[in-house]
Every structure is written in structure tokens, then in C-alpha cells.
Amino acid sequence: MAVKLIGSISKYMGLAADTKPTSVPIGSTFVDYDTRDIWITYDGTNWDKYKRNSDIDRTADIKGTYKPNETQSYMGG
């Protein structure tokens, strides 16, 4: 495979049962919000499991707005 410049990667998020998008930029990623699996597309249509990311915070919504949970505490004044 020749080296390709990936200039416009898209990031998607949904449930594992959701159909992953097609006709997307090569190198785009999809995060399964419920299983925390991360998928990457090598051709813009087919998806391969990239890794399972246990660091994905389920308290963040799709827009990235952080919603602290009850087990976290904050210091400040």
C-alpha cells in the first residue's frame, strides 16, 4: 500500500448495534459508546476493530459535555 495523506478524518459515535456509516473519509473512527470498542475504516466503507478503550468516560455525552458523576470530587475555591 502506498502512503496516503489523511487530511479529513471524521469521528463517529453510536451504539454497538448501530450500523456504521459508509462513504466516509479513510481513517475515520467509530466509538461504540456502550462497549467502548473503537473501529477504524481503511477504505471509507469497511470497519476493523482498532482497540477497546477502557478510558472512554461514559459520563461524557456525544457533544463532549462533561457530566461529573457522584464518585468524583473536586478541589477548588
Q: Which three cell numbers stand for residue 38?
A: 473503537
Q: How high is the pLDDT of residue 2?
A: 81
Q: How high is the pLDDT of residue 7?
A: 76
Runs of H (alpha helix) within the chain: none
Burial annotation 67-77 (CB, 10 A radius, 16+ → b, else e): eeeeeeeeeee
Low-confidence ranges of the chain (pLDDT < 50): 59, 65-77
Q: How high is the pLDDT of residue 5?
A: 72
Q: How high is the pLDDT of residue 74?
A: 43
Q: How high is the pLDDT of residue 53?
A: 60
Q: How high is the pLDDT of residue 75?
A: 47
pTM confidence score: 0.61
